[in-house]
Structure 1
């Protein structure tokens, strides 16, 4: 199986803060088992399996400055890979890759601009990254939560849209039952203390002070 190391079929850009450099790689619907990232002092290596035939793609970033490998990380969503690199020194990088320019080092000073609209997404190359990020945000907003996240969101929606009685019922049932009961029926829970109802096969025990 061929490994492509030049001009991989995805876009990327980067920006920096005082302590970190963030590389954003646009790739949709990538799973954790399709991605491997290695960090070293001045190199970030991506190994990706993508496409219909799990084609292997390799991308190496030869960084212009040193990083701290043990403090680097990445986050994978349905539309992008966000790679966060910890700078070894808190200086401004003039470029992401290549030999560092022999220019005086300058620290990045935090600036809080006063704007009438949200600031543009930082970019390294004149790319309209704000438009790209806006497209990503729209797609992420349509991502459907799963499992416990979906259940929590459902409860939040019910609580947020519920009447005062619904909110009182949810609060009372949850607190009095030790988090084992969540009811929206105020008429029912207002009559008496809500008893603990642990899942089948489990026993509820109170912590002793």
Structure 2
């Protein structure tokens, strides 16, 4: 790739990381049309965005192409298994996941992920076998008794599943500037997620299978900035993040019950809708300071930038390896242009005003709108 194409690839990866999957897909397909149709890494990035939008049929076709490009790699086979699972082709998905397990080297994090998918496939196949038994209608006494026992066992599993759904697990993580909550549940529709913040509390609600509603109420140890809250629904989890009011590490996520009771007499702030949409700002930004903050976050969260999904860490790893001016250029150009420009040349970017006189032209057939007008 030449410099322009590399910047376009980085732009697509950044769009994917921040959840702009439609834009990322358009960027990747544009690169494919420029002669990179058989680029394995580009294909994997495209597949990742298609899966994020639940477009499993298109993602499956791209997986087949990528596997032909490089049969020794496992990423495309793994994602093909995910597509087949959500298309209810559980036996075929199980074959792919077993194949990946044989291919991967020592990687305990990814091994656990593969084992989880294998377990899900086996559970679905067991359910299918049970339904087949229920539909045969064979009346032999011994088989009839066996069928009854299996149905009773399935009913017990259903009751157990409801109990699990009512006790969905979550975990939290932090840097000195932010706190994040991960709720481990596969939510099919992001519109069902209800999130409310105050300056020291969080409420989460969404419907779950086997029960009416899941609710999570948290009273934070210290105050947060509700206006900075963001949330995103992933394939296997719901992730919520918010900035802390004071830069510090918390010893725990929530206040103790005694502290909460002592604070009940204090007035509470009005809740703020969790979804936060950044707007153009006239304030001058200290790009050097932003660069240092990101560098500090990388140092404190090496596991997030190294292990885990290699695609989601790709943009961050490239950023970490760049020099100071390249980083400033990448941050300023992409943020202030609304994601339409990504440059690595600080000399070119430092005096640009992408929110004003240097604002790029919108795509053909589109125009900029004033979001303050109704």
TM-score, scaled relative to structure 2: 0.26
More helix by share: 2
More strand by share: 1
TM-score, scaled relative to structure 1: 0.45
